[in-house]
Structure 1
Amino acid sequence: MNDTIHTAASSAATLETRLARFAMHNARVGEGSVSYREAAGESSNDTLVLLHGIGSGAASWVQQFEALGGARRVLAWDAPGYGASTPVASASPLAADYARVLADWLDALGIARCMLVGHSLGAIMAGAFAAAHPERVAGLLLISPAGGYGAADASVRAEKRDARLAMLAELGPQGLAQQRSANMLSPHADDTARAWVRWNMARIVPHGYAQATHLLANADLATDLARCAGRVPMAVAVGAQDSITPPEACERLAQIAHAPFHVVPGAGHAGYIEQSLAYSTLIEFTLTRTFSTTELKA
């Protein structure tokens, strides 16, 4: 047991050292701010923006910074209520609330158009932004997208919301990280991946996580994707062993979006952490395909 704890701590420390290459920044957005990390690549013409899920943060994308940040600008935000980012105003927000902050953040950074990647709850935010601003999205990749419960019966929405809020109140960030982080990965994940998921989950801000829980209950990604279909180049990917957003659920969203669907072998929900090379390759492929297609149309 002590050896396992020592190995996990060493793995997290190594990743923190790697993360230090991509310093935290803060951008003034309206009356608040957004914290984010950046890899400033050689080209800023095809900026890549990464949106994390409910139990994570900008730091979770460190391996994608390393793999993709040499050739292009890569940005990952701490969503409103995460890291040092100002929470949205509503206690029970909608996806549109996060999409507005995303638009304002991109404006503050001078980014008129980007390639957008959203993981899990980040896919809800990405889909809402693309539905509202299709002209600003060169391509949209949804990784293990959470569909939200907005179209479900009110009792189902309340049950899902209240169960997660009760778990947060009982366990707190550290307890969530210890008890829930393993669900994010496949049985094949190594100690480094497990340590990194725990590290990120332990740093959630309870208020921001609670708002995100309401967002999950309120959101309906399928409706936003239907609005985007034919207007934004899209793709959907999921880990073959994702038990949180299973492949069949993700495939239904891909069908609604009329988007290519990819299943990544040996990966769970946080596949981009445990199978970073496979996901970075997929992101690069999608980025190249969507930008080249857009340029040809232009």
Structure 2
Amino acid sequence: MNEAMHTAASSAAALETRLARFVLRDAQAGEARVSYREAVDERGKEALPLVLLHGIGSGAASWVQQFEALGESQDRPRRVLAWDAPGYGASTPVANASPVAADYARVLADWLDTLGIERCVLVGHSLGAIIAGAFAAGHPERVAGLLLISPAAGYGAAEAAVREGKRDARLAMLAELGPQGLAEKRSANMLSPHASADARAWVRWNMARVVPQGYAQATHLLANADLATDLARCAGKVRMAVAVGAEDTITPPPACERLAHIAQAPFQTMPRAGHAGYIEQPAAYSALIDMFCAEH
């Protein structure tokens, strides 16, 4: 093993050790099973729950640094939960082979019902923003605040040829490379040039563990979704905010700002951060989330 590989392995191992404190749990959500992780201090049990939704190449584990910063805060401890989306981790895939956002939002509602969570602050990253937007549009009374981080807009409003081209290219890459190959080839795109070795290792670790069927269904979701329409339905009903890494090349700042305008929501760029900003700049993003929760 060369030095770079050894460093990456050590970084991932250190984060796995930290993650082990937030054990993987399991809940029955309607007919589906949902695996998730949770951080809660006794002092934070009365706080409004904070629910974190990951992106297409990730999972609940990716939020470990937010579990530590927000779930175990000395000043404002919170109940922090992050799911493995349907088809990820040990979560049951959705039934629809080519799903829409409402399919995932329905599972989210059932999962929150099972946990006795009537209302929460919802944070969606990238593809997770699509699911969060659909849930908020359908259940505005259950969302105290909706924070979208580097939101993926989806291609549902595009011409059929564009939607199919984007979908088929990603599916072909999955078939060719598999999760491990995806992690090696695409993980660097998730981060800015300023990202540490630890951040790069953690993005690769999470991406290498995606389940092919779940990733394929999420690829269809991305092609079918139209986040802008859901945000327009939420405007005036749900308090929202949008943030993006200043150096995000996957969901660039201008595209995210357009979504913020549709949502009638404040917009913020995060310095020295790429698409997976909450991993490479955990202190800044945890502070952003904490402030958003405090306001809502």
| Fold equivalence (TM over 0.5) | yes
1:266-292 C-alpha deviation (Å, 9 max, x unpaired): 0000000000000000000111111xx
Q: Which runs of 5+ in 2 are unaligned?
A: none
Moved over 6 A (4+): none
Looking at structure 1, the residues matched to 11 and 145 of structure 2 have their Cα atoms a distance apart, in angstroms, of 33
What residue is the counterpart of 2:15 in the other structure? 15
Tell me, yes or no, if structure 1 residue 138 matches structure 2 residue 144. Answer: yes
Secondary structure of the 2:48 match is strand
Counterpart code for 1:65: F
What residue is the counterpart of 2:44 in the other structure? 43
Looking at structure 1, the residues matched to 31 and 275 of structure 2 have their Cα atoms a distance apart, in angstroms, of 34
1:156-204 C-alpha deviation (Å, 9 max, x unpaired): 0000000000000000000000010000000000100000000000000
Tell me, yes or no, if structure 1 residue 63 matches structure 2 residue 69. Answer: no
1:31-75 C-alpha deviation (Å, 9 max, x unpaired): 221000000122233100000000000000000000000211000
Counterpart code for 1:285: M
Counterpart code for 1:37: R
What does residue range 149-228 of structure 1 map to in structure 2 within 5 Å? 149-228=155-234
Tell me, yes or no, if structure 1 residue 256 matches structure 2 residue 262. Answer: yes
Secondary structure of the 2:65 match is helix
Looking at structure 2, the residues matched to 228 and 30 of structure 1 have their Cα atoms a distance apart, in angstroms, of 25
What residue is the counterpart of 1:129 in the other structure? 135
Counterpart code for 1:11: S
What residue is the counterpart of 1:102 in the other structure? 108
Normalised by the length of structure 1, the TM-score is 0.97
Looking at structure 2, the residues matched to 190 and 5 of structure 1 have their Cα atoms a distance apart, in angstroms, of 14
1:224-279 C-alpha deviation (Å, 9 max, x unpaired): 00000010010000000000000000000000000000100000000000000000
What residue is the counterpart of 1:237 in the other structure? 243
Looking at structure 1, the residues matched to 5 and 271 of structure 2 have their Cα atoms a distance apart, in angstroms, of 28
Looking at structure 1, the residues matched to 40 and 194 of structure 2 have their Cα atoms a distance apart, in angstroms, of 32
Secondary structure of the 2:237 match is coil
What residue is the counterpart of 1:269 in the other structure? 275
Looking at structure 2, the residues matched to 31 and 289 of structure 1 have their Cα atoms a distance apart, in angstroms, of 35
Secondary structure of the 1:72 match is coil
Looking at structure 2, the residues matched to 200 and 88 of structure 1 have their Cα atoms a distance apart, in angstroms, of 21
Contact 2:136 2:142 in 1 (8 A): yes
Identical positions, percent: 79
Looking at structure 1, the residues matched to 158 and 70 of structure 2 have their Cα atoms a distance apart, in angstroms, of 38
Secondary structure of the 1:138 match is strand
Secondary structure of the 1:127 match is helix
Counterpart code for 2:34: V
Secondary structure of the 1:217 match is helix
Q: 2:87 aligns with which of 81, 88, 102?
A: 81
Looking at structure 2, the residues matched to 110 and 225 of structure 1 have their Cα atoms a distance apart, in angstroms, of 26
Count of equivalent residues: 290
What residue is the counterpart of 1:4 in the other structure? 4
Contact 2:44 2:71 in 1 (8 A): no
Contact 2:32 2:107 in 1 (8 A): no
Contact 2:55 2:128 in 1 (8 A): yes
Q: Which runs of 5+ in 1 are unaligned?
A: 291-298
Secondary structure of the 1:46 match is coil
Normalised by the length of structure 2, the TM-score is 0.97
Looking at structure 2, the residues matched to 155 and 49 of structure 1 have their Cα atoms a distance apart, in angstroms, of 35
Q: 1:148 aligns with which of 127, 145, 154?
A: 154
What residue is the counterpart of 1:294 in the other structure? none
